[in-house]
Amino acid sequence: MAETEALPKLREDFRMQNKSVFILGASGETGRVLLKEILEQSLFSKVTLIGRRKLTFDADAYKNVNQEVVDFEKLDDYASAFQGHDVGFCCLGTTRKKAGAEGFVRVDRDYVLKSAELAKAGGCKHFNLLSSKGADKSSNFLYLQVKGEVEARVEELQFDRYSVFRPGVLLCDRQESRPGEWLVRKFFGSLPESWASGHSAPVTTVVRAMLNNAVRPSGEKKELLDNKAIHDLGKADSSLTP
């Protein structure tokens, strides 16, 4: 596959551009893995985490990571945190069980949309949104409806490049205990790979797809990567480290 062979060069060309990046939701499983891979690849000259609390890291690799602590209920007061970033990754999200229906909508729609608005105003050119398989603003299911709605509303902001990732069930060893998700992960993990890959995706595969996509030039203003595309791009090479 020509694109696979070109990935090391695409990464090197990308590094030479000295771009800056922010991550929303770095305390979650996907955001945490994304940060780790970004640092291992040294893709960006500046890495900033935007969140409601400061995260602590033991490894020396994290010493140059910038952190902006914000109040998501008053994001306009923290507009400066969103200024000067070339690329943004949004992995914000909660669950209805944890936050209630109103809290879920607040985080997964309102916080995400407001963050995207401030990022656009701050000069972000490429916005990456972690969504979900089946996202549809006309869905009868609140989760999928909210995901679909925020996808559409962020698109209206007209980023130079807007990439939406719609994985199936995320397979990970989440630090935060969610028993229902644990059972689902065990279920998908025991299925034949060909079937499981159509309905689930390991977090590492999603992260690799996000980064492999970011380093390759695109003439499309909007890119929608479904679960299969995530698997294909996330497995384009066996190692993210050049």
- The alpha carbon dihedral of 91, 95, 99, 105 has a sign of positive
147 classed as catalytic: yes
* Residue 1 tokens, joined: 């596959």
Q: Which candidate in 19, 36, 111, 143 is catalytic?
A: 143
CA angle, corner 114, sides to 111 and 115, nearest 5?
Answer: 80
19 classed as catalytic: no
Report the C-alpha gap between 134 and 193 in whole angstroms.
Answer: 20
Q: Strands, E, within the chain: which ranges?
A: 20-24, 46-51, 66-69, 87-90, 126-130, 161-165, 169-171, 200-202, 222-225
**CA dist 86 → 4, 38, 63, 69, 173 (Å):** 25, 14, 21, 19, 31
Q: Which candidate in 19, 36, 133, 147 is catalytic?
A: 147
**DSSP letters for 132-198:** -TT--TT-SSHHHHHHHHHHHHHHTT--SEEEEE--SEEE---SS--HHHHHHHHHHHTS-HHHHHH
Please give the positions annotated as active site: 143, 147
